[in-house]
Chains A and B, each alone.
Chain A
Amino acid sequence: GENVEQHPSTLSVQEGDSAVIKCTYSDSASNYFPWYKQELGKRPQLIIDIRSNVGEKKDQRIAVTLNKTAKHFSLHITETQPEDSAVYFCAAFLYSSASKIIFGSGTRLSIRP
């Protein structure tokens, strides 16, 4: 069935280093890929998204890349800061269903001081 796989499940990086989270999706018709950040006890919040007609998008320290052929997309955070510590979820909009976003299982990112 429809599926989004996310890796790694946990990631610890030194403050100032880069963090990369990778996701793959199963439905080649997917055309919208948002990334959400969820801090403990809080709601998921959109941090960046990309549509299938572009290969890369950047917003300050955050960038997302999309490889439609391989059906994978990645989140890149550069110059990590303590406030980047959170759980990050990738997601894919499944055009075939025209109704729902499917989420990955999440990556818990910890920034070491």
Chain B
Amino acid sequence: GAGVSQSPRYKVAKRGQDVALRCDPISGHVSLFWYQQALGQGPEFLTYFQNEAQLDKSGLPSDRFFAERPEGSVSTLKIQRTQQEDSAVYLCASSSVGVMNTEAFFGQGTRLTVV
């Protein structure tokens, strides 16, 4: 497709359930980023991939959060044993060069609600 695609758009999970969020970046984009956006807040960095390598995961809030990009294209963000505080919009972004000092294109996000 022409842009960054994320699925599902909406996800309701029961507390304690595992979830997996998918990101399809723009074809050929080297860099891929995950952000968490709480209601009324700016996006908070979670993790960064350059191709298949996860170069920075300093923003992952706990060991319940795990991200992968095994073939350097599609990425999955997995959250185990979801908690209510995990409720947020999860945004994926990609850019075309190896460092993020050029335009990053965002997906429409996945809104996760933990009940």
Contact = CB atoms under 8 A, between A and B. Distances in A.
A89 B56 CA distance: 22
B41 interface: yes
B103 A34 contact: yes
Interface string A21-62: 000000000011010100000111110010100000000000
B103 A46 contact: yes
Contact of A100 (B59, B91, B102, B107): B59
Interface residues on A, range: 20 to 34
A100 B56 contact: yes
B44 interface: yes
B103 A105 contact: no
A31 B101 contact: yes
Interface stretch (A64-72, A73-81, A91-99): A91-99
Contacts of B55: 99
B81 to A, nearest CB: 26
B41 A100 contact: no
Interface string B82-115: 0000000001000000011111111111000000
A43 B89 CA distance: 10
Contact of B106 (A6, A45, A95, A102): A45
A101 B109 contact: no
Contacts of B108: 42-43
B33 A100 contact: yes
A89 B103 contact: no
B57 to A, nearest CB: 10
B56 A99 contact: yes
Contact of A103 (B43, B56, B102): B43
Given A43-B91, A93-B101, A99-B100, A104 B42 contact: yes
Interface of A: 6, 31-32, 34, 36, 42-46, 49, 51, 89, 93, 95, 97-106
Interface of B: 4, 33, 35, 40-45, 48, 55-56, 59, 91, 99-109
9 contacts: A31-B101, A43-B108, A43-B109, A44-B106, A89-B42, A99-B56, A100-B33, A101-B104, A102-B45
